[in-house]
Amino acid sequence: MDESRRVPENRLPVWSRFTDRGIGIRIFITCWLVFTLHFATNTVREIYPALSLGDHLSFDVTEYSGLHPDIFEIPGRGSFINNNPGASIIGAIPYAVLRPATDRIVERVQAARAAEPRPEKTDYDTIYPLAQEFLQKARERGVDVKFGLAAGIMQAFAMAPISALGVVAVFWILLTLTGSRRMSIMLSLLYAFATPIFYRTAQLNQNVLLANFALFAFVLLWRPSRHSGGDRQRPYYFLAGLCTGWTVVLDYSGLVAVAALGGYALARWTSEPSNSRKLYDLGKFAFGIALCAAVLMAYQWTSFGNPILPPQSYMPAAHYTDLGYRGFSLPQFDLLFQTAFGIRYGLFTSAPILLTVFFVPLWLTRSNRILENREMVFILSFTALFFAFCAANQYGRMQFNSGVRHIVPVVPFVFLLVANVLLRLPVILAALIGVLGTYWSWCLVMYRDVEQGFGVFESVKHITLEGFRLPWLTTLERMGFINASSAIPLLVLSGAIIWLIWNIGGNVENVEFS
């Protein structure tokens, strides 16, 4: 490079001061920090097996019977949740590592309560009586503090880093396809904070984990390269198979991922030169899936006595179990519409930035799109199949009080289409869409209650009029542990840490600028 054209380091854009790997690390740390800061304290059903695994190496959650409606008993075997164990297995890992510290804290709290019996706030300041009843039962059993600590550990050391790694994967995809660091950074951060990935990462959740593992499998199979004229690198078939298979261990909706990714793996394999194409590669992909299938079958066999039938086959009758096979029927148009545009759990109402995907047809026939035909076919097929699955799963109607959830696995792939559109828009318009989309998503993450009023629209109204909040701080306040506390100091501190992350330690020795 001509030395006379070298830009002084202190005048370079922040992203230009690092190697590509350094940028990826900073994106990971930034997202991990922000995801963790917005932790939600919900004690979801997947937490109970995670606790049992960490405490007893067992999926039996008998000790928590009566605390969650999704826990049911099988006489002679124990009590279990009515879903697959993948998220619980992941959550159990950090909990088991940090269990000694958790146990000490719980013991001290219980000892203090016993030594100084005094009136304390035992109600929970909420309009939902079931939440108050849950807290009362948890305190009577002495597990309320344990639940809160465990939920925080599983979110901070499982959910947050896995979703942060997914953001890095999107960054590398976009960097490979566009060659632009600035646009790749901005778009990957939009993926992190302007989509339901942000909302669902706040607690242990199998749907966003499924999204991440499907994304990892896709990247491991795709492996585009900026070198050698853009030729693809050889796929990691076995690792892709493991990630694909784990989607089913997470949830049976992962069967859609297996079908779509299996088709993509076959298409990817046939595109390789005949002299390097090996049937053994497809065998490695299938073997990875088979290992995960064995894990799921072993769970079902030891828990329910049958390796094939899913947990839903054994749970008591509940809402929608009388429809189709245990709540799974032919796709229903009204549920399809609610999944896409419902005011409580619609994908596009929860993340308006994704509405730009409907402009994709304007670029489908253009030669300057960033995605090739094979990847476009996979993304469109996966998205369509998943919407059809969600429209057939009648339990999706129960999302009215939990927000967007079942359709979240399509988000990484829909966003790649959205990125294609944003890259073609005028910069000012794309930036405006990004800012508004991020604010909308952030309001939903902070407020979280979609059951009342106008659903997701309530979050924008309340946060705008009442100020910023953090879900875990709000919970502590409502439980009486702290007085009214502002989220601003923590947000400012996090902003300062993020500024330091991006402005300290830049290495320009191996970076070329034009």
Q: Does residue 512 surpass a pLDDT of 70?
A: no
**Roughly how many angstroms between the first and final C-alpha of the chain, as a whole number?**
7
> What pLDDT does 16 receive?
58
At 195, the amino acid letter reads T
Domain boundaries, the chain: 23-174, 320-426+448-457
Residue 253 pLDDT > 90: yes
The answer to which of 56-70, 118-132, 463-477 has the lowest mean pLDDT is 118-132
403: left (phi over 0), alpha (psi -120 to 50) or beta: left
In contact, 256 and 216? CB cutoff 8 Å: no
Query: Does position 279 have pLDDT exceeding 90, yes or no?
Result: no
Residue 6 pLDDT: 46
* Ranges 44-58, 94-108, 168-182, 264-278: which has the least confidence: 264-278
Q: Which of 132-136, 241-245, 251-255, 492-496 has the lowest mean pLDDT?
A: 132-136
Contact 370, 420 (CB under 8 A): yes
Mean pLDDT of all residues in 192-203:
98
Tell me, letter by letter, the H, E, C secondary structure of 429-478: HHHHHHHHHHHHHHHHHHHCCCCCCCCHHHHHHHHHHHCCCCHHHHHHHH
The pair of three-digit structure tokens given for residue 314, joined into one six-digit string? 């054994």
Averaged pLDDT, 468-479: 91
Amino acid at position 318, single letter: A
> In the predicted model, what is the mean pLDDT of residues 99-111?
94
Q: What are phi and psi of 212, to 5 degrees?
A: -70, -45
The residue-averaged pLDDT of 366-373 equals: 73
- Is the pLDDT confidence value at 231 over 70? no
Q: Tell me: pLDDT of 57 over 50.
A: yes
The mean pLDDT of 236-260, rounded to a whole number, is 97
DSSP 235: P
Q: How far is CA 447 from CA 370, 408, 436, in A?
A: 35, 19, 17
The pLDDT, as a whole number, for residue 366 is 60
Amino acid at 349: T
Helix H or strand E segment including 386: helix 373-392
Do residues 206 and 200 lie in contact, with contact meaning Cβ atoms separated by under 8 Å?
no
Pairwise CA distance, residues 320 & 334, whole Å? 15
Q: Encode pLDDT of 300-319 as tens digits.
A: 999 999 999 988 888 887 77
Does position 387 have pLDDT exceeding 70, yes or no? yes
For all residues of the chain together, what is the average pLDDT? Answer: 89
- Tell me the β-bridge partners of 393: 328
Q: Are 406 and 338 in contact (CB under 8 A)?
A: no
Rg of the chain (C-alpha set): 24
- Provide the strand spans (E) within 20-93: 71-74, 78-81
Classify 509 as helix, strand or coil.
Answer: coil
pLDDT of residue 7: 44
Contact 282, 265 (CB under 8 A): yes
- Give the pLDDT confidence score for residue 513 in this predicted structure: 30
What is the CB neighbour count within 10 angstroms for residue 377? 15
C-alpha 462: how far from its chain's center?
Answer: 25
- b/e per residue 63-73 (b: at least 16 CB within 10 A): ebeebbeebbb
pLDDT of residue 477: 87
pLDDT surpassing 70 at residue 12: no
What average pLDDT score do residues 84-102 get?
Answer: 97
What pTM was estimated for this model as a whole? 0.93
What is the mean pLDDT of the segment spanning 96-118?
Answer: 89
C-alpha–C-alpha distance, residues 489 and 239, integer Å = 42
Say which range, 101-110, 118-127, 440-449, has the weakest mean pLDDT: 118-127
- Cα–Cα distance for residue pair 64/89, rounded to 1 Å: 17
The arithmetic mean of pLDDT across residues 384-398, rounded, is 93
DSSP 8-state code for residue 156:
I
Structure confidence by residue, pLDDT tens digits, 111-125: 888 887 665 555 677
Instruction: Report the distance separating Cα 94 and Cα 84, nearest Å.
Output: 19
Using a 10 angstrom Cβ sphere, with 0-12 exposed, 13-18 middle and 19 or more buried, the burial of residue 25 is: middle
